[in-house]
Amino acid sequence: MLMTFVLLVVLALYGGAANTQDDVQPTNDLPNPYETIAPWGKLPEGRSWGAVSAVAIDNDGQSVWVADRCGANPETPPGASAFQYDSCAGSTLPPVLKFDSAGNVVKSFGAGIFIFPHKIYIDRDGNVWVVDQRSANERELAKSPVGKQKGHTVVKFSPDGKVLLTLGKPGVAGNPPEALTQPTSIVIAPNGDLFISEGHTQNPDAPPETVSRISKFTKDGKFIKSFGKFGTGPGEFRGAHDIAMDAGGRLFVADRGNMRIQILDQDGKYLGEWKQFSRPSGLYIRNDLIYVTDSESNGVAPHLGWKRGIRIGTNQRWQSSLPHSGSSRTEGNQRSRRLGSGREGQRLWRRSWTAPCYETRPTVEDLIH
């Protein structure tokens, strides 16, 4: 079964409160049993990757959904970050792409709807949710004034691209129920409740009114409550950059600016935090494993002693029972979104079954590339 790396880790995922990890030493050199296949994905002729910030695996376990930022911006100055320039402002390209397992585009949609796709999520019915993190900036509005009516939204599509629901007021930052502010991610509970992380700012000098929270809605989009605020204390965030849920229904929030993962219940009660994954940009949880993408540690936002990469944790000691040769071409494959540099497209990490996974409490494996 294919699994996705979103900006992507774990201790015991079930039962009891989560532990707090303090004074954690950098982990950069544990075994890496994956080989990299890059680039992956065949774009239509004439199209190049923009910043690729959103990847999800279809419910068929094989197909891959991607939301990129409508191709590389030719106006990006040499050496400048794609994050600053790639966007869908003024573009007619569809940012939502579905690939088969061989990397061929089999479906695309979403043209003219978004400014800055940040997250893609597939629900149990196969519907596609895309998070549009921000509105157009002055440079983008000068190029495309219609961009003023886009951004700060979460859009639900049918598997064929029909818009079914829009949360937030396009182009307007604000508070639920009418609006959202810099939504970054979404996760859906088994009962259908929606949890949307908001607030991209992680600057410690940001004003106290800066938005950084989780907003909860019913499956039909009716607002229930928000919890959390900008800060460094328990239940506070400096950039709630991604959100995931374990099988026990606990929420895991990538509190990137505070260099931790916070664990909450579905009413926002603080259960604990983990700091052993450095600066978490993305989270993915499956089968008692948590995958954490750290896209910034020795890059745009240094974390002393840590390197960028993907760290994996588990609450169980295990190793493969497969032969100690060859590799798994489907079971255990990982799709990764590229952040920051972002234009090289996707990478596929293929699990080599020649190396076991080891447990500490919690376990951490590194994929540093």
pLDDT tens figures, 139-169: 999 989 999 999 999 999 999 999 999 999 9
Contact 287, 251 (CB under 8 A): no
Q: What is the structure's pLDDT at 343?
A: 54
Structure tokens at 130: 């895309």
For the ranges 181-190, 228-237, 319-328, which has the lowest average pLDDT?
319-328
Q: Closest Cα to residue 136, out of 116, 162, 160, 158? A: 116
In angstroms, rounded to a whole number, what is the distance separating the alpha carbons of residues 221 and 189?
A: 13
A 10 A CB-CB count for 298 gives 18
pLDDT at 8 over 60: no
Q: Which residues contact 5 (CB under 8 A, 6 or more apart)?
A: 55, 282, 284, 291, 293, 310, 334, 335, 336, 337, 349
The answer to whether residue 236 scores a pLDDT higher than 70 is: yes
Pairing of strands 213-217, 52-57: unpaired
Choose the weakest-confidence range: 205-214, 228-237, 321-330, 352-361: 321-330
| Highest mean pLDDT (candidates 101-105, 216-220, 286-290, 359-363) | 216-220
Give me the long-range contacts of 158-165 (CB less than 8 A, separation at least 24): 158/127, 158/128, 159/126, 159/127, 159/128, 160/107, 160/109, 161/96, 161/107, 161/109, 161/110, 161/128, 163/113, 164/127, 165/220, 165/221
| Sequence spans of domains, the chain | 3-367
Q: How far is CA 298 from the centre of its chain?
A: 19
With 50 as the cut, is the pLDDT of residue 307 above it?
Answer: yes
240 neighbors 198 (Cβ within 8 angstroms): yes
Exposed e or buried b per residue across 21-51, where buried means at least 16 C-beta atoms within 10 angstroms of its C-beta: beeeeebbebebbbeeeeebbebeeebebbb
Q: How confident is the model at residue 244 (pLDDT cuts 50, 70, 90)?
A: very high
Bridge partners of 367, per DSSP, are 310
Residue 353 reports pLDDT greater than 60: no
> Phi, psi (5° rounding) for residue 289?
-115, 145
pLDDT at residue number 36: 80
End-to-end alpha carbon distance in the chain: 23
In the predicted model, is pLDDT for residue 121 greater than 90? Answer: yes
Contacts of 180 (CB under 8 A, 6+ apart): 152, 153, 154, 167, 168, 169, 173, 174, 196, 198, 215
Q: What pTM was computed for the model?
A: 0.83
Task: For residues 256 and 254, give the distance between their C-alpha atoms in angstroms, rounded to a whole number.
Answer: 5
Q: Phi/psi at 83 (nearest 5 deg)? A: -60, -35
**Cα-Cα-Cα-Cα dihedral sign, residues 167, 169, 175, 177:** negative
Q: Enter the tokens of residue 200.
A: 């991209």
Cα gap 113→150, rounded to integer Å: 7
The answer on pLDDT for 186 being more than 90 is yes
Q: What is the pLDDT of residue 369?
A: 30
Average pLDDT, the chain: 81
For residue 314, is pLDDT > 90?
Answer: no
Q: What six digits make up the tokens of 323?
A: 């032969």
Confidence band for 191, pLDDT divided at 50, 70 and 90: very high
Question: 23: pLDDT confidence band, cut at 50, 70 and 90?
Answer: low
Q: What span, in angstroms and rounded, lies between the C-alpha atoms of 131 and 65?
A: 13
Is 116:132 a contact under the CB 8 Å cutoff? yes
What is d(CA 306, CA 340) in angstroms, rounded to the nearest whole number?
Answer: 17
Checking if the pLDDT of 133 tops 50, the result is: yes
Q: What is the percent of the chain where pLDDT is above 90?
A: 57
Name the nearest CA neighbour of 359 among 11, 4, 20.
11
Is CATH 3.10.180.10 what the domain over 3-367 is classified as, yes or no? no
Q: Write down the pLDDT at residue 233.
A: 97
Residue 326 Cα distances to 30, 191, 215, angstroms: 21, 41, 45
Banded model confidence at residue 360, pLDDT cuts 50, 70, 90 = very low
Above 50 in pLDDT, residue 58? Answer: yes
Q: Region 120-124: what's the mean pLDDT?
A: 98
Q: Which pLDDT band holds residue 125 (cuts at 50, 70, 90)? A: very high
Does residue 352 register a pLDDT over 80? no
